[in-house]
Amino acid sequence: MSGPDSTPRVRFAPSPTGSLHVGGARTALFNWLFARGRGGVFILRIEDTDRKRSREELSREIVEELGWLGLDWDEGPIFQSRRTGLYLPPAERLLERGLAYRSEPDPEGRTAIILRAPDEEITIPDRVYGTINFSGAELKDIVLIKSDGSPAYNFACAVDDHELGITHVIRGDDHLPNTPKQILLYRALGWEPPVFAHLPLILGPDKSPLSKRHGATSLKAFREAGILPAALVNYLALLGWSPGGDREILSREDLVREFSLEKVSRKAAVFDHRKLVWMNGRYIKEVAPIELVPALRRLLAGTEWEPVPDGRLAAVIALLGHRLKTLSDFTDQAAFFLGGEIGYDPEAVEKHWSGEEVPGILAEARAAIAAAAPFTRRRLEEKLGELVSRRGIKAGVLMHPLRVALTGRKDSPGIFDVVCLLGRKISLDRIDRALDTLAGRP
């Protein structure tokens, strides 16, 4: 590819003052897609010059969550706090040229270095919003170096973008007020500014900016809720961007190939948790069960099910299939497969265990399961089918009470699949307990 977007250098520059929000994750994704689709470079820069609010553990979390999302970077992570030597020299050059001045000393005798904001029109050719004009008269003087010696945000940002050779700055439109200040800094230092593209905000269902009151908003929370990274990438890509048509399920390769800034909408996107969960369910069905086990292990850590072997977890995932919308559903949906003693749903008991014939049916089902040899689905179908024919009952009259005995629930995967996965011993033990319960025995 040739032209202004060929071999771009872009960056994602979060501040470690909180967990990575989905708005920030989308910004990172759009930068990553833009770079990957054009043979460019994606840089991760941690903007941690705010000494009071930046936290090292949040820096580690951001790095980990981006890695989980699969957004690999070519350079970084670069920490601003480790680059302090870069910022003072250009500020001093502006002092020498009379474009900046020192503030009055603070109580400790320290001074800040401040740029005089010129009264001139500032035009930003934004790749999403089009031409944006700012009046220089509206801008105040710009702090370059604070009195404690640390660089101010806009100055550090401009210096780093220049030093790293950033060609395109793709970020949320909450940064629009910073852009004219940074352009003034570029002009004062005689540097060519990058191309800017500002992304509309992500809103909650009530059309206010997405926040915790709308539910989970951080990558960490979605990861812990059992959302797959591939599903989240797919969903985030469609927040404010469209490939055209009605396509919704797109692979990472599709996104890299088709993403462009020209298709980014100027309209704010609304985050729909239900749509994300639906999409996640689609991805769960398409992934081989054994591939989901590592992610599931993270959710099961510290629970009674942590020792369950990988093969059994994969078998349960395969059986639950379409019932799983997120991996966090697993512990509820699969409890009767993994645990010991089960509880009985009162509604299921009332509906399916109230008939006088139930104890006799369950006793005969127990005998059929005990006699099934070999213990295969086909042989179980034959034995239980014989019971239904012998009693002259509908299949449901057997299957529903048996389901409650084996799972404690009124709904489950197919009963033959349940028996096969539980195994003969556990199935017989649970029927015995059901019979004791029906007989009023402890």
Active site residues: 212
Distance CA 122, CA 304 (A): 62
The partner residues of 135 in beta bridges, in order of sequence, read: 121
- Give burial (CB, 10 Å; 0-12/13-18/19+) of 226: buried
The partner residues of 100 in beta bridges, in order of sequence, read: 115
Q: Give the CA dihedral 177, 178, 179, 180, nearest 10 degrees.
A: 70
Instruction: Tell me which residue of 212, 268, 210, 277 sits closest to 239, measured CA to CA.
Output: 268
Alpha helices in 149-260 (DSSP H): 153-163, 178-189, 219-224, 229-237, 252-258
Q: What is the largest CA-CA distance in the chain?
A: 102
Distance CA 409, CA 161 (A): 59
Distance CA 175, CA 197 (A): 10
Q: Give the CA dihedral 244, 248, 254, 257, nearest 10 degrees.
A: 30
